[in-house]
Structure 1
């Protein structure tokens, strides 16, 4: 076995296509792979030999059914590499480690404490790696989801008032001296959108808008042509700063003129109280309202949401709007229907509005998806450099 410094472009493309098939399928035979990738029998056999030598595929028994000789089956060696997805919030650090197939093999939640950002991340990543049976420095890629956006010049975090201890550290180089692993940092709501594309209501959609309203804050994500729109300064999606009118019919104390002001937990409790609902939080208020008087507080809440969505729909004309975050998810399809009805009175395009998935770990799951892309690319590209005599 020898390594080649510059594999042909065709070899790289063929290897990547084959490995992508093996990511989707538990096992495939050579003839199946030949048909799926479009290669000749000798080329497919050589490809499998090369990837086996690279440690990326392995023999997985023989097909038991059908006439004729039992075909050799092949599978991806998913444990050839691992990627970590991290959700950083005011509550703590939530880590998941997945193999190359995307199967989560370890999880770890570290509550917020007095540790600084660097040490807190290292503790959480190390604990999760121990559970996965690997050393943290052998991770192929780490993706960190965090509220707000990171300034690409300074590395400092913006738009994240709930994480004061994280705002004056260079997040872009936070782990450079501790882990020799590539790290990317992404807005948390963008990661929710990736999770919805991979496993949720946005599967098969290339243009959609995700609005996140949760007790931990408000945000949004824009996907156009299947790609996240991050903006020139990575600030796209900070919808909470958008000035909007308050379309609620009930009178409440003035709390601001921005969208984020109108849907804070305190603002929603004031609105619920104006409708005669006494609640411990916005989710409780919404559940009470939907159970007793959907045309009261829930409809006024939907009016406030539609005020924030009107400009989005007019500018983007998305094929789908997802209402996500624990508050919106608590409202479910009934809240989505109220928002759609209110929005129809404000703008012309009729955009389907759906509730997001009830997934408390959606940020972390999106971070895993974000980390898997470069992790697979690194291993798949390395496998293409192998020459088999």
Structure 2
């Protein structure tokens, strides 16, 4: 039976193998003796738990350690390539999908223009068929799959994986995304807001020692993923970080698609940048075109991008005073189009925030760029399926009488 955010497994007594596995997740080979010393457990208990973890394929013997005399002891380490994860990052007008291992390393990926406003059925049909393609062209099948995670550009009720009144996703409200995907793949399916998974991906791979980070996505819309105290913050209904609909000082006359006026998205989102460039007689269709204009020193493009950055910075300054992050990462198609948006953000944040809040604050562009979302989605699954409790569940499932009979 599939584990999902809708029907979680009831808690089961631990085997202890899951806790031991957490020590091996860093990939460093260790001997039974090292593990016994680290945990205080007996050699026989360590040996039994290592056998259990090998049986489910999460660890393997990786060769002998240095010997101090006699037969060299064997070492054991995490084998992330033993299983796979499928990840999807769906934006307003594009989709990026990836196949990863259990360490979040991308094995293969694909990208396509996808209109989220087309509705859940055609978009998720494309996701499922593309997932099947990724597995097939890499010689994998569904039996190797540990789980799936999908990021969408709107608020998500985390406990169910269902979108909650997403402004730019007509037809998606309360749609059962996990259940739809599980018709094809009998694995856990997790769903989250796209900027949340970007924050998780950027923090996991570029800032692993940073516990207070904000990831700002600047694309068609504007949102922020908040990691505070090392934990992703979703809020009561999953709408935390909806930065795009905070009012910008002095922008009250600009109408927004949400029905209000003066929203940050209406002044600095992708359509607003295109509209402002059109006022200068410059027609653009994509963020990359804007970036190319800026790289060519087009003064209108530079001015529009810089002002978008200032507008974003004016709102982020309030967030910095409130949350005191140590790192702000800017990503998304507009932020990735050049340094001018980031420069505008820095200008206002450092000017408007308190000196103490900005004393050690770093504001940078995304290192993962367009892959931040799928990396974060992969980590969402990995954290779920490799927790101590989940690993204990796999061990118990493997050692149950039904499983033993099936393997004979």
User: TM-score scaled by structure 2?
Assistant: 0.76
| Counterpart position of 2:348 | 342
Q: Residues 278 and 229 from structure 1, CA distance in 2 versus in 1: closer, same or farther, beyond 3 angstroms?
A: same
- Post-superposition shift, 1:170? 2.8
Listed as ranges, the matches of 1:248-327 within 5 Å are 256-269=261-274, 271=276, 278=282, 280=284, 284-285=289-290, 288-289=293-294, 292=297, 296-297=303-304, 299-327=306-334
SS at match of 2:90: strand
Does residue 363 of structure 1 match 2:373?
yes
| Counterpart position of 1:328 | 335
| Counterpart position of 1:78 | 80
Q: Choose 83-92 or 102-111, whichever is displaced more.
A: 102-111
Aligned counterpart for 2:106 among listed residues 104, 107, 121: 104
- Post-superposition shift, 1:198? 0.7
CA distance in 2, matches of 1:31, 1:149: 48
| Counterpart position of 2:32 | 30
Q: Deviations over 1:13-32 (max 9, x none)?
A: xx334323333225333334
Question: 8 Å contact 1:93–1:120 — kept in the other structure?
Answer: no
CA distance in 1, matches of 2:160, 2:58: 37
Question: 8 Å contact 1:7–1:384 — kept in the other structure?
Answer: no
Q: Residues 76 and 316 from structure 1, CA distance in 2 versus in 1: closer, same or farther, beyond 3 angstroms?
A: closer
Question: 8 Å contact 2:330–2:364 — kept in the other structure?
Answer: yes
CA distance in 2, matches of 1:179, 1:254: 42
SS at match of 1:158: coil
- Post-superposition shift, 1:262? 0.6
| Counterpart position of 2:165 | 158
Q: Residues 327 and 233 from structure 1, CA distance in 2 versus in 1: closer, same or farther, beyond 3 angstroms?
A: same
Unaligned runs of 5+ in 2: 1-10, 400-408
SS at match of 1:180: coil
Question: 8 Å contact 1:277–1:289 — kept in the other structure?
Answer: no
Q: Residues 36 and 217 from structure 1, CA distance in 2 versus in 1: closer, same or farther, beyond 3 angstroms?
A: farther
Question: 8 Å contact 1:137–1:180 — kept in the other structure?
Answer: no
- Post-superposition shift, 1:342? 2.1
Aligned counterpart for 2:45 among listed residues 36, 43, 46: 43
CA distance in 1, matches of 2:321, 2:12: 48
Question: 8 Å contact 1:244–1:307 — kept in the other structure?
Answer: yes
CA distance in 1, matches of 2:270, 2:344: 20
CA RMSD after TM alignment: 3.6
Listed as ranges, the matches of 1:134-283 within 5 Å are 134-136=140-142, 139-151=145-157, 155-161=162-168, 163-164=169-170, 166-167=172-173, 169-200=175-206, 202-214=207-219, 216-246=220-250, 256-269=261-274, 271=276, 278=282, 280=284
| Counterpart position of 1:3 | none
Question: 8 Å contact 2:162–2:191 — kept in the other structure?
Answer: no
| Counterpart position of 1:380 | 391
Q: Residues 363 and 58 from structure 1, CA distance in 2 versus in 1: closer, same or farther, beyond 3 angstroms?
A: same
CA distance in 1, matches of 2:295, 2:139: 47
Q: Deviations over 1:102-122 (max 9, x none)?
A: 333443446648862443232
CA distance in 2, matches of 1:106, 1:154: 25
SS at match of 1:198: helix
CA distance in 1, matches of 2:183, 2:151: 20
Unaligned runs of 5+ in 1: 1-5
Q: Choose 106-115 or 70-79, whichever is displaced more.
A: 106-115
CA distance in 1, matches of 2:155, 2:172: 12
CA distance in 2, matches of 1:134, 1:358: 25
- Post-superposition shift, 1:145? 0.8
CA distance in 1, matches of 2:103, 2:368: 23
| Counterpart position of 1:353 | 363
Q: Residues 237 and 105 from structure 1, CA distance in 2 versus in 1: closer, same or farther, beyond 3 angstroms?
A: same
Q: Residues 237 and 67 from structure 1, CA distance in 2 versus in 1: closer, same or farther, beyond 3 angstroms?
A: same
